[in-house]
Structure 1
Amino acid sequence: MNDKNGSLEPKEEMSQSPSSFSSSTSGLSRHPTHTSTRPPKNEGDLELARTKSIAQTMSPLREFLFVALLCSAQFVTQAGLVNTLNILHIIGDDLGITDPGVLSWLIAGYSLTVGTFILLSGRCGDLFGYKTMVIVGFGWFAIWNVVAGCSVYAPGNGGQVLFIFARVLSGIGPAILLPNALGLLGATYDEGRRKDMVFSLFGACAPSGAVVGGTFAGLWSLLWWPWTFWTFGIALACLGGLSYFILPAVPLKEEDQGLTFAQRIGELDLLGATVGITAMILFNFAWNQAPGFGWEQPYIYVLLIVGILLFPVFFWVELKVSKHPLIPFDALSTDVTFVMICEMCGWAAFGIFIYYFIQILQQLRGTSPLLTMAQLCPVTISGFIAAITTGHVISRIGPGWVMLISMCAFTVGSILVATMPPHQVYWAQSFVVTLIIPWGMDMSFPAGTLIMSNAVEKRHQGMAASLVNTVVNYSISIGVGIAGTVETHINHGGLTEEDELRGYRGAMYLGIGLGTMGVITSVLFLLKLRVREKRMTNRS
């Protein structure tokens, strides 16, 4: 039971959190947390009892491994982003990729597939089981990292194509991991401070994963950069094997248990998923392709226009055609809209920050990949403190205020990088920004998840959390793409250090604008909540 501080006792029932990805488990939080002496009334109660026994019989060591393994989904997602970003120019030189616009695609393409496939992956977890999908996610991620390392053997320009292809497809691995790892956590923990802390720790793994991934990439680049991806693939395969033995299997919904494989495929809304994913990929691809090949290319305009036109088609399919839509639009309230705008602005600003901050360090200051990670390592400590703080205060001050603080952190961090002199001492603005940015990362994710959860009905909890993950990762990709366009249009070819700096700062000014938009939106959201509270007070 919850104590006066909202925490849970060691043997307490662990059930549905607001971030669960299964509507089948959303009913768990409505049951009492103590063990009932009455026999279960039906098969659904028997299923619930079995789920309870799995959670309650976890030893402290098993629970620690359970949480650590699921949090590793966030860890490896960010490691997979920064391990390439930190040695981007080493890979580019070896594979013959010198155009900055094409190099940025190695980062944006990965985040693109992470963001576009999450909604479909969350639905797969509902139908095939979270544990199964987590194992599949680790396996898929491992395979394509090994392929990325092997691209060095491709003849001619084939290495460029194979590496980009492998990077794009590897992003589907985290897209499978994130919603299903959160689904298992959500199906295990009850509402309260303990659940808040677990989800905050999940977010805290983002900066630490980024630093660890980038550090190992820097180390392996001293020997041979492909080992970055081969060893990462081996580690992912090991995590997949541990998942088989450590993770519990949460029963499917009663109505899904008797479905055949073909029937479960029919429940996936493949038509809506195909149209939606195609729209997001084409729109994003055009923005990320344009900086490298120029907006004067006709195919870029065509892809952008087709992508834009497919979005209303997706909405029509979801509203009028699909029997089981990926996104139930009738559940999207104004609260959801505010949260989506905040998350889009904040994480697009973060994507621009992380890409151009490292470019400034390596291209203008001449820092090595290892020294770059050494200068970034304070984000792990600051991120951990931010996560612990968020877990403690989010239930006290409310997720709306936490969201505002996170948007301010994104904006201030972007301002510091945009105004940073190219050869300034590290301990001035560079060090300060590594302390500030993690507060944006580790506060916005849990705040957005909880706001979305509170804004929709119990049966739409899975959609709410999946949507947050989609917005976060897709925004990183589209932010880098748009910033690349800004950079190439104002850097005069980047032939001198002054021109390079002008392009980097122009991109960072875009990040400042996006962060500011997030701050304004979060303030409007808080005002909306205050007006609602006053109306409820007056009615009572």
Structure 2
Amino acid sequence: MPLSTERKGNPELPSKASSSSPDFEAAQPSKGDYVYPADIYSMPRRILFIATVSMSMYINQLGLCNTLTTLKIIGDSFGISNPGQLSWLIAGYSLTIGTFILLGGRLGDEYGNKKMFVLGMSWLFLWSLVAGLSVYSNHVLFIFARVFQGLGPALTLPNALGIFGKYFSEGPRNMAFAWFAAAAPFGAMTGLIFGALFSMAWWPWIFWSEAVGVAFVAAFAAWIIPDMPVQEEQVRPLRQKLDRLDLPGGAAGVTALVLFNFAWNQAVVVTWREPYVYVCLILSFVFGALFFYIEIYRARHPILPVAAFTSDIAFVFACTAAGWATFGIWLFYVVRIALDIGGQTPIQLAAWFTPILITGVVSALTVGKIISKVPASYIMVVGQVAYLVTSILMALRPPESIYWTYFFFGTIIATVGMDTSLPAAIIIFASVVPRQYQGMGASIVMTIVNYSISLGLGFAGTIEININHGGHTQADLLYGYRGALWFSVGLTGLGTVLSLILLKNHRKQKSNQSKSEEDMPEKVEKHQS
């Protein structure tokens, strides 16, 4: 790409070298080279740029956790206490994020990551207002508002990672991804603290305050994120752009994901005795098969490039899904035990989770620093083992135990799992996806993360209601909660086994590579002789 084209969209890039300079020829990037505009930003501007884009992860976690400890307060205002209906307040938000992220990433690749980022923030602003206003209506509107809120992060998350992938070269990009992951614990803590504080006054302010903050981020992002210059091959007619969006594949995939997730989460509310739950589950498999058929055999520009997936990517995919489903179950049921049985208050719980600020940031930034030196397969093993240990700790935790035993150590270890596995997975996917499709590569990771949280809650909720004898006593409630937590132990145990297989495969490949390099001189000598 000519440097003058880059300057047109990025005035901060250095001017061309003089044509009389002997180094002029060498200074010009070739047609296939790319210039990464954020690499030359001053440090203050780079900080603002990374912080603004990372707000997508911050706000995503804030939106998840601001309802976590206030479920009962919100439910009481609507007159609902069914655990299945309450879980939809969390699962519905993650469902739409996980379901529509693939489309959000592809839209960003075709129409501009910045445009989709700002649009996602604006959408989230609107439905945050509606979530608060639902206090004047009923719980159905509130659940719909939560579901539609999720479409905002479905646009912002993949396009934030796409922006980092296109604006930074590999070294700075890894650290940008690390800061993106490090924003998660800050968002979670903000949600826990302000959710609890506003619920003490009037819970709608949880969402109205979120709307105010999101509106500010949208306006600031429109200013601080520069427009990337459009390349010649990206200037296409509308019909060709629609073709590249893979609308048939996207529609089949979204339908399959929604129906599968709805079946499992709705079964917690109405049980599996309702025929429409089975129908939704069966239809999800039908649409899932149709999706893979379209992607593999029909789509000229598949929304999910299945053919590009290696066995290592598949293992990373499975490990990430197991780990984040475990994290969603762990977070939801640890809070339920503390509030419903242990007698803790939302404010007290927010204080109990404060260690995640330190361990989360340290873990994420450590991964960003060492990822170029330590194979990601080792980091995946660390993350899965951390999930396994914290799940066992919380499944065994007596509700009356003091904070400094199970809860303190479990929280620290859980954050290590979350903030090592996420940046590792993002960096792995980003490294194998072409630059122009960074949004799509990032969307795959965030689809796994958010969809797994929602689906894991559906699985765990089904187990809970089938073993808690109706939950009429605290002993029954605890039995159901622990059943869900032991399910998470099994899930992350599977993830640990898969991560060890990934590590074994990586070491085997490395050994074979070293052996072939050692044999190369001998082969050269024989050939010459």
Q: What TM-score do the two structures reach when normalised by structure 1?
A: 0.88
* Structure 2 letter corresponding to 1:233: A
Counterpart pick for 1:37 among 17, 21, 24 = 24
Tell me the SS of whatever aligns to 2:67.
helix
The aligned length equals 496
Tell me the SS of whatever aligns to 2:371.
helix
What do residues 374-425 of structure 1 show as CA deviations (whole Å, max 9, x unaligned)? 1111111111111122222222221110110000111111111100001111
Residues 1:247 and 2:230 aligned together: no
What do residues 40-73 of structure 1 show as CA deviations (whole Å, max 9, x unaligned)? 588776xx4xx54x43552222111100001111
Counterpart pick for 2:92 among 102, 109, 129 = 109
Residues 1:443 and 2:420 aligned together: yes
Query: In 1, distance between residues paired with 2:174 and 2:62?
Result: 24
Residues 1:474 and 2:454 aligned together: no
Counterpart pick for 1:509 among 483, 486, 492 = 486
Query: In 1, distance between residues paired with 2:29 and 2:396?
Result: 65
Tell me the SS of whatever aligns to 1:396.
coil
Tell me the SS of whatever aligns to 1:395.
coil
Is this contact kept in 2: 1:283–1:303, CA < 8 A?
Answer: yes
Counterpart pick for 2:306 among 329, 337, 358 = 329
Is this contact kept in 2: 1:218–1:369, CA < 8 A?
Answer: yes
Tell me the SS of whatever aligns to 1:84.
coil
Query: In 1, distance between residues paired with 2:185 and 2:352?
Result: 13
Residues 1:63 and 2:24 aligned together: no
Q: Which deviates further from its counterpart, 391-400 or 178-187?
A: 391-400
Query: In 1, distance between residues paired with 2:23 and 2:326?
Result: 49
Is this contact kept in 2: 1:127–1:252, CA < 8 A?
Answer: no
Is this contact kept in 2: 1:338–1:525, CA < 8 A?
Answer: yes
Counterpart pick for 2:150 among 167, 171, 175 = 171
Go from structure 1 to structure 2 and tell me whether the alpha carbon gap of 1:364 and 1:307 turns closer, same or farther (over 3 Å shift).
same
Residues 1:84 and 2:62 aligned together: no
Tell me the SS of whatever aligns to 1:117.
helix
* Structure 2 letter corresponding to 1:425: I
Query: In 2, distance between residues paired with 1:462 and 1:141?
Result: 19
1:153 aligned partner: 136
Is this contact kept in 1: 2:166–2:436, CA < 8 A?
Answer: no
Counterpart pick for 1:382 among 350, 353, 359 = 359
Query: In 1, distance between residues paired with 2:420 and 2:404?
Result: 25
Counterpart pick for 1:136 among 88, 112, 119 = 119
Residues 1:184 and 2:163 aligned together: yes
* Structure 2 letter corresponding to 1:395: S
Go from structure 1 to structure 2 and tell me whether the alpha carbon gap of 1:418 and 1:470 turns closer, same or farther (over 3 Å shift).
same
Is this contact kept in 2: 1:332–1:456, CA < 8 A?
Answer: no
Give the deviation of 1:371 after TM superposition: 1.2
Q: Which deviates further from its counterpart, 422-431 or 453-462?
A: 453-462
| Structure 2, unaligned runs of 5 or more | 1-5, 7-21, 518-529
Q: Which deviates further from its counterpart, 476-485 or 453-462?
A: 453-462
2:466 aligned partner: 489
* Structure 1 letter corresponding to 2:94: S
Is this contact kept in 2: 1:268–1:324, CA < 8 A?
Answer: yes
Is this contact kept in 2: 1:343–1:472, CA < 8 A?
Answer: yes
Counterpart pick for 2:206 among 228, 232, 240 = 228
What do residues 82-141 of structure 1 show as CA deviations (whole Å, max 9, x unaligned)? 111121110000012210011111111110111111111111111111111110010011
Q: Which deviates further from its counterpart, 530-539 or 117-126?
A: 530-539
Give the deviation of 1:270 after TM superposition: 1.1
Alignment of 1:190-229 (within 5 A): 190-192=169-171, 194-229=172-207
Percentage identity across aligned positions?
Answer: 43
Is this contact kept in 2: 1:125–1:180, CA < 8 A?
Answer: yes
Q: Cα RMSD over matched residues?
A: 1.9
* Structure 2 letter corresponding to 1:37: F
Tell me the SS of whatever aligns to 2:167.
coil
Tell me the SS of whatever aligns to 1:397.
coil
Is this contact kept in 2: 1:111–1:476, CA < 8 A?
Answer: yes
2:401 aligned partner: 424
Residues 1:118 and 2:101 aligned together: yes
Residues 1:238 and 2:216 aligned together: yes
| Structure 1, unaligned runs of 5 or more | 1-14, 16-34
Q: What TM-score do the two structures reach when normalised by structure 2?
A: 0.90
Query: In 2, distance between residues paired with 1:432 and 1:56?
Result: 39
What do residues 281-335 of structure 1 show as CA deviations (whole Å, max 9, x unaligned)? 0000000010111110111011011111211100111122222110122101111
Query: In 1, distance between residues paired with 2:40 and 2:374?
Result: 34
Query: In 1, distance between residues paired with 2:149 and 2:232?
Result: 33
Residues 1:99 and 2:82 aligned together: yes
Alignment of 1:391-402 (within 5 A): 391-402=368-379
Give the deviation of 1:457 after TM superposition: 6.5
Query: In 2, distance between residues paired with 1:96 and 1:218?
Result: 19
Give the deviation of 1:195 after TM superposition: 2.9
* Structure 2 letter corresponding to 1:71: S
Q: Which has the larger radius of gyration?
A: 2
Query: In 2, distance between residues paired with 1:240 and 1:129?
Result: 15
Is this contact kept in 2: 1:331–1:460, CA < 8 A?
Answer: no
* Structure 1 letter corresponding to 2:191: G
Tell me the SS of whatever aligns to 1:532.
helix
2:269 aligned partner: 292
